[in-house]
Structure 1
Amino acid sequence: MVTKGVVSLFDSDENKISHYSKGQSIVIPAAMVNYKIVSEQSSEVFITRSDKRIIKPLSEIMQQKNVKFGTSGLRSHESKLDRAVMTALVKASLILEQQRSAYLPGQKIMVGRDYRPSSWPLQSMVEKALKECGYQMIDAGAVPTQAVAWGAKQAKVPALMITASHNPLDENGVKGYRLGGKEILKSDELDLAQVMIDITDDIYFESKSQQNNIEEKENDEKIKMLFIKRYLNRYSSQSLKGLKVGVWLYRSVGPGLMFEVLQGLGADVVTFGDENEFLSVDTEAIPTEIVNNLNEKIKEHDLDFVVAFDPDADRPILLHQKMGFIHGGQLGMLVARILKIKKVVVPFTLTRAVELSGWFDQVKRTDVGSPYVIEGMNELTPQNKFSELDGSFVKNNNSLVVGWEGNGGFLTQDLMTRDSFLPLLEVLVAYNKDPESLVKMFKELSSYVYKSDKVAGFPTSDTKKLITSLSEPRWAQDNLKELGEVSEVRKFKGAIIIIFKDEARLVLRPSGNTPDLKIYVDAVNQGADKRADQLISWAKNKAPALAKNIK
């Protein structure tokens, strides 16, 4: 806390402990639980602490509350995200921002959320914590995660997004952004964990039932409009004229805004679905019945494309009437190719077509998660040669670096977080301008089949046992005989990578957010599609039993 005038710190016996001039930081001794701060100009008591307090590092509070950081941000069952956790996380984030950028009390923090029933109560807890620390909240409302990041960048403020992404309805979490909409990276999480937090014991032990009786209020529509304009300004108003696009509606924060963008670019837009139904759609493991249903909608409404999202709308879904379902890993490749990018960053789980296609001069592989992709992009960005997507042009393609993930989220240097709108729109605009060229580009990828899936509810301990056993080449060969001869086995970033003699590849890893076994396969040459399906089927149907039998 920084003083706005001349103040003194007193203990509970009215003894003056310290004196502070205007602009100085007030430091409260950790052992002092009862104190007050008084203005010497007006004798006004503006902070009093006379209650029992708990002073611990954020990591200890998170451990005791049984919550942790996942692949990107904090996620947990909603019952564990109480006021103590939310207050501690907010305070740690603010303290770190104060230390790094002198972002002092009196300023604003942007906060957005998804449509989960628990998201608004959690945002209310965040607002209370911000007020305790002397900050104001900009309520972005229910918007895509990248809309919060973009709004924070434009407003030059830090931000928080309340969401558990594609996780089940009864889970939730927080994704953080530093000043200017810069996504919190893994190194930042390590620093956050060490921040000492001072909260009252009534907050620490407050029951969850006391925290949910909160009425939702109006939010700032300006953030939504700012986000929509990002894309309307990038393309001409007739970019999608003549194109018929379906938007799948369910309880996601993306479809409504995408509808406005598509109409603004001249598309004929058809909507379908139930916007009141919440679905936990993982774009890396979309159920076959959903893909089939969306394909039926294409036929029913004579659509060129169908677009959709996960619940917080930072992961896209795209289907075409002829090309079919376009996997997120392929979508990223198409967009980078359309933009004529030469340097790309992708997770190690993505298809080897990124290298084998010859489309890119430099490919950097990272761990799974947008924070790792961002770190990789920073490493490849030449000093003093930062380039941005600007309007409908790309400036200086040779130094521009982009990244994407298997979920379809696309990262650019002007928005360093997963963006789902840009990749969808780039493909739609390119197709509408020259459909033959885009279809030809997609066919170039057809010889590299890439698929992903998961086994939900698979204990992380079982996944780790399976990966450890498979890392032994002889054990792997003995237990994978039905899949063919194994030519290489290696552990990488907590995952197992198995390459077969026919060059097919199987990657298994534990999810960073949920007890799921994540599966990634790619295959090449004739029969690649069936080969990929064989590997997926084995991983889903036989790997769990194999893991259970490992002692």
Structure 2
Amino acid sequence: MLKANEIIYKSGIAFGTSGARGLVRDFTHEVCAAFTHAFLDVVSKTFKFTSIAIAIDNRPSSYEIAQVCAAAITQHGFKVEYHSVIPTPALAYYSISNNIPCIMVTGSHIPFDRNGLKFYRPDGEISKIDEQAIVNSTYEFLPVKELSSLQVKKEGADAYIERYSSLYGPEKLTGKRIGIYEHSSAGRDLYATLFEKLGAEVISLGRSDEFVPIDTEAVGEDDRLLAKKWATEFKLDAIFSTDGDGDRPLVSDEKGNWLRGDILGLLAAQQLSIHALAVPVSCNTAIEVSNQFHSIVRTKIGSPYVIAAFDQLIEEHSSVAGFEANGGFLLATDVKINSNLLSALPTRDAVLPALMLLVASTENRVSTLVNALPQRFTWSDRLSNYPSQKSQKIIADAVESPESFLAQLQLQGLSCINVDLTDGARFILSSGDIFHLRPSGNAPELRCYTESNDERKAKELVELVLGKINGL
């Protein structure tokens, strides 16, 4: 017999800001089974259910991992509902609607040589407490010996399309030309149908047979140039895309300029008439400056922290939501849209914020809506393959002596007026500019977020900070 916690510990795979992630080679059959059994051991102590839903992204390794998870589910005494390749929020919505747990096999935006597992209870994402219970589970199980083909259910995909296409009439987006940058997104076969049901003309763009690790917080220069080219060539009103598993949106204006995720989230929250927000500390301060919300709570980075902040807000406000700097939008309460009830979906979603922006842009172009916001600009990038231990030391030294760190960065004439340690270290400078350093929770990366009154300056500050750090 194998013991779940021992297998998980030896694997080196750990929970980060969103799910358990690691190298594909470390997701052995034993490890996948251990995580699955441990999850079921934990969730079955609180909830009653007979089946578990599974879906995957388009990574080459995802289907086999799903097969192992399915075998472990069957071993544990439950039925398997396999939804094949659909977005994470589509699987989560199906799971919550049917009061069953689910497992999403995805590494989100990280490179294809890595993968991951996201777990949902029947009422939504697992908590940090659940994560600890999973890695500490002593459940014993037999090795998985045979993998079976998985029979595909379409209900998850269909329910997700219906969730949003039913909010408005079939002419709501008539006249809109929307480009769908499909690449290898898990939702690429759903989005055209969804927007066409609302009357939009859809142009499919950039479908790839290879996995493309789109990071909505650090869009590559090639994708920036592509968006501008497509917007001009096809006379588009907007371009919609997502990361690998479809829970983080990437949306451009009519000129092909990609919107920052927190700006998209702010516009969507305004359109939804949200009263209270929970957002990570890394999000744009235009959220506060806009004076559009009764309450705003800043959290650590990661959807579990945003969700944890919902409980208190829901007690005090009738409409509550959250979003992250990556654009993933979390709806904490039911809301009325066009006299239709949209049920809560407290997990990152890419379609809702994009749809709200497109609806708002029926009267004003997307760029006009963006320009009407307080002009605070954010930028972000990362150092890849950068050891976490090295990141932690640099940040610790910087916090101990901010002025010495600014000198190392050659930011002459500036002082640090505050350091926010909510998550990583966020340095607020005397100029009003901000830079925020944070090691990734699930990859050897050091992320840098910046904010300024000038977009060019925000970008240059990221390049300066990461360039100098890389040379230390």
Does residue 1:54 correspond to 2:13, yes or no? no
Does residue 1:530 correspond to 2:456, yes or no? yes
Q: Note the C-alpha offset of 1:199.
A: 2.4
State the match for 1:517 in structure 2: 446
Match of 1:540 among 460, 466, 471: 466
Question: Per the alignment, do residues 328 and 494 of structure 1 end up closer, same or farther by CA in structure 2, a change over 3 Å counting?
Answer: closer
Moved over 3 A (4+): 214-218, 438-441
Does residue 1:431 correspond to 2:327, yes or no? no
Secondary structure, counterpart of 1:445 in structure 2? coil
Q: Note the C-alpha offset of 1:54.
A: 3.3
Q: Note the C-alpha offset of 1:178.
A: 0.4
State the match for 1:74 in structure 2: 20
Q: Note the C-alpha offset of 1:216.
A: 5.0
Range with bigger deviation, 84-93 or 343-352: 84-93
Q: Note the C-alpha offset of 1:277.
A: 2.7
Cα distance in 2, alignment partners of residues 63 and 167 from structure 1: 22
The one-letter code sitting in structure 1 at the alignment partner of 2:386 is F
Matches within 5 A, 1:276-291: 276-291=209-224
Secondary structure, counterpart of 1:277 in structure 2? coil
Does residue 1:198 correspond to 2:140, yes or no? yes
Does residue 1:98 correspond to 2:98, yes or no? no
Q: Note the C-alpha offset of 1:427.
A: 0.5
Cα distance in 1, alignment partners of residues 9 and 418 from structure 2: 35
Q: Note the C-alpha offset of 1:523.
A: 0.9
* 8 Å CA contact retained: 1:250, 1:275: yes
Q: Note the C-alpha offset of 1:323.
A: 7.7
State the match for 1:386 in structure 2: none
Range with bigger deviation, 118-127 or 323-332: 323-332
Question: Per the alignment, do residues 474 and 439 of structure 1 end up closer, same or farther by CA in structure 2, a change over 3 Å counting?
Answer: closer
State the match for 2:106 in structure 1: 163
Match of 2:380 among 438, 446, 452: 452
Cα distance in 2, alignment partners of residues 508 and 360 from structure 1: 27
* 8 Å CA contact retained: 1:473, 1:489: no
The one-letter code sitting in structure 2 at the alignment partner of 1:87 is A
Cα distance in 2, alignment partners of residues 473 and 167 from structure 1: 31
Cα distance in 1, alignment partners of residues 72 and 37 from structure 2: 7
Question: Per the alignment, do residues 354 and 323 of structure 1 end up closer, same or farther by CA in structure 2, a change over 3 Å counting?
Answer: farther
Q: Note the C-alpha offset of 1:508.
A: 0.6
State the match for 2:92 in structure 1: 149
State the match for 1:189 in structure 2: 131
Q: Deviations over 1:446-500 (max 9, x none)?
A: 5211112212221111211110111123322322333641232425145111111
Cα distance in 1, alignment partners of residues 149 and 412 from structure 2: 54
Cα distance in 1, alignment partners of residues 32 and 205 from structure 2: 36
Q: Deviations over 1:385-422 (max 9, x none)?
A: xxxxxxxxxxxxx5111000011100002101001001
TM-score normalised over the length of structure 1: 0.80
State the match for 1:315 in structure 2: 248
* 8 Å CA contact retained: 2:230, 2:256: no
Q: Note the C-alpha offset of 1:294.
A: 1.1
State the match for 1:135 in structure 2: 78
Match of 2:57 among 111, 114, 118: 114
Secondary structure, counterpart of 2:465 in structure 1? helix
State the match for 2:329 in structure 1: 410
Cα distance in 1, alignment partners of residues 412 and 254 from structure 2: 33
Q: Which has the higher contact order (CA 8 A, sep 6+)?
A: 2
Cα distance in 2, alignment partners of residues 216 and 493 from structure 1: 45
Secondary structure, counterpart of 2:426 in structure 1? strand
State the match for 1:496 in structure 2: 425
Does residue 1:270 correspond to 2:199, yes or no? no
* 8 Å CA contact retained: 1:486, 1:498: no
When Rg is computed on C-alpha atoms for both structures, the one with the higher figure is: 1
* 8 Å CA contact retained: 1:281, 1:310: yes
Q: Deviations over 1:173-225 (max 9, x none)?
A: 11000024x1011121122222212123x55xxxxxx88xx675441112111
* 8 Å CA contact retained: 1:87, 1:129: yes
Q: Note the C-alpha offset of 1:316.
A: 0.7
Does residue 1:233 correspond to 2:169, yes or no? no
Question: Per the alignment, do residues 340 and 126 of structure 1 end up closer, same or farther by CA in structure 2, a change over 3 Å counting?
Answer: same
User: Percent identity over the alignment?
Assistant: 29
- Could you list the runs of 5+ residues in structure 1 that have no partner in the other structure? 1-52, 204-209, 384-397, 547-551
Cα distance in 2, alignment partners of residues 400 and 523 from structure 1: 30
Q: Note the C-alpha offset of 1:293.
A: 0.9
Secondary structure, counterpart of 1:482 in structure 2? coil
The one-letter code sitting in structure 1 at the alignment partner of 2:415 is V
Secondary structure, counterpart of 1:457 in structure 2? coil
Number of aligned positions between the proteins: 460
Question: Per the alignment, do residues 485 and 147 of structure 1 end up closer, same or farther by CA in structure 2, a change over 3 Å counting?
Answer: same
* 8 Å CA contact retained: 2:408, 2:468: no
Cα distance in 2, alignment partners of residues 491 and 529 from structure 1: 22
TM-score normalised over the length of structure 2: 0.93
Cα distance in 2, alignment partners of residues 484 and 411 from structure 1: 40
CA RMSD of aligned residues (A): 1.8
Range with bigger deviation, 417-426 or 475-484: 475-484
Secondary structure, counterpart of 2:252 in structure 1? strand
Secondary structure, counterpart of 1:499 in structure 2? strand
Cα distance in 1, alignment partners of residues 38 and 227 from structure 2: 43
- Could you list the runs of 5+ residues in structure 2 that have no partner in the other structure? 333-343
Q: Deviations over 1:51-74 (max 9, x none)?
A: xx234x52x322211111111111
Q: Deviations over 1:303-361 (max 9, x none)?
A: 11111111111111111124822110100000011112121010001111111221222
